[in-house]
Amino acid sequence: MEALHSLSVTVAEIRSPAQGYLALVGSGLLKQLGACVGKYLLGKTCSIICDSKVAPLFANRVKRGLTSAGFQPTLITIPAGEKSKTLAQAGAICDQMIAAGLDRQSFVIGLGGGVIGDISGFVAAIYHRGIPHVQIPTTLLAMVDSSIGGKTGVNTRDGKNLIGALHHPSLVIDDVDVLKTLPRREFNQGFAEIIKHAIIADAKMFGTLQSFKASEALALQQLIRRNIEIKAAIVAKDEQDRTGERALLNFGHTVGHGIERAGGYQKFLHGEAVSLGIVAACAISIKRAGLPPDQRDKVVDLLQRFELPTRLPPKFPRKKIIDALKFDKKFERGKVRFVVTPRIGTARLSSDVTIDDIREAIHAL
Ligand code: NAD
């Protein structure tokens, strides 16, 4: 890492039973990409998978950085947006990689938001039965959440992320400079996952967020790093999502996913739906886990501080949210596995929550 010493870089070490890896968080990292990647990846050929909005912004810089360090990258661009996260698109990417002569020694770089992270990771998992994956997230949400933990996949007509593989990245490179071009609404939605992390695992970070200034680059880097640590620590305890520990990351997501689906994935961004889901989960936590109501109020204030929604529009079809819940993976054989918080900084799974509790919380939104 000597070449990187002149830059402001912080390194989060992700220990995982399946595969340990590093997340480099800093400014100016894309300029040093060759050095970063060269240190951890053995192959020389790679694909850079990118979307049509991100490619004009950063793809050339990434390509140049790799080429100047002796790598041979092939750029593959797909249309921006959730609609691209399909099996057909993953197949088309694989076909382009085969045509470019990429083999078992090659690796895949995902340059983009969570959509690109998920589909490029999935391609890396299946290409030649698995080749290394490098995540270069370009949204805040992807930096603090989707690039960590190894969940990759695509959507089907029936729902999101129904096909996928657990395939950890070999390296994650978070260059905070790329966030400067992110639209404000996209930037803010990342804070829903950050606030979720604070509620379930870090009361001190919750306090920091109450006066946080995202314009302070170093503070933002530290915040990203802390969130990577929180997610990685939870994932490491329950990589396969079996013991219930990893499920804590779903705080706010049961109702959040229902809202996304009920809005046809158009009305709210993922983080915005999660924000509303967090408010509902706090209402349920007051009833079922003894969360003090003033702590719910603090959560609502914090979400609003980052311009996240905390009320549904009056005419939003609330019944559709309940209907959508049955598609949720957390509704196992009719039983609700709901994450509640008894106080900010901790969370647990509850089997006491009823569909009526959820319905009530949704109607109160
Ligand atoms: P996204 O990838 O669609 O990016 C949002 C938009 O911002 C896109 O239009 C993109 O082109 C644009 N964009 C990205 N970076 C930019 C930049 N730096 N400047 C300007 N524009 C930029 O969406 P997202 O919110 O990053 O991710 C959502 C996806 O992540 C969903 O598919 C969700 O299922 C997935 N996800 C996965 C996990 C996981 O653990 N694997 C966790 C959470 C979410």
* Residue nearest ligand 1's atom 44 by CA: 146
Question: Looking at the domain that runs over 184-364, which CATH code has it been given?
Answer: 1.20.1090.10
Residues of the chain below pLDDT 50: 1-7
Residue type, 237: K
pLDDT value, residue 6: 44
pLDDT value, residue 329: 57
pTM: 0.94
pLDDT value, residue 42: 82
CB 47 within 8 A of CB 119: no
Q: CA-CA distance, 120 to 94, in Å (whole number)?
A: 10
Q: CA-CA distance, 250 to 10, in Å (whole number)?
A: 27
pLDDT value, residue 8: 63
Test site for ligand 1: of 61, 118, 162, 189, most ligand atoms within 8 A of the Cβ: 118
Domain boundaries, the chain: 10-181, 184-364
Residue 86 backbone phi and psi in degrees, to 5: -125, 165
Whether 256 is in the pocket of ligand 1, judged by its Cβ within 6 Å, is no
Q: Which fold has domain 10-181?
A: Rossmann fold (3.40.50)
Residue 293: CB atoms within 10 A of its CB come to 10
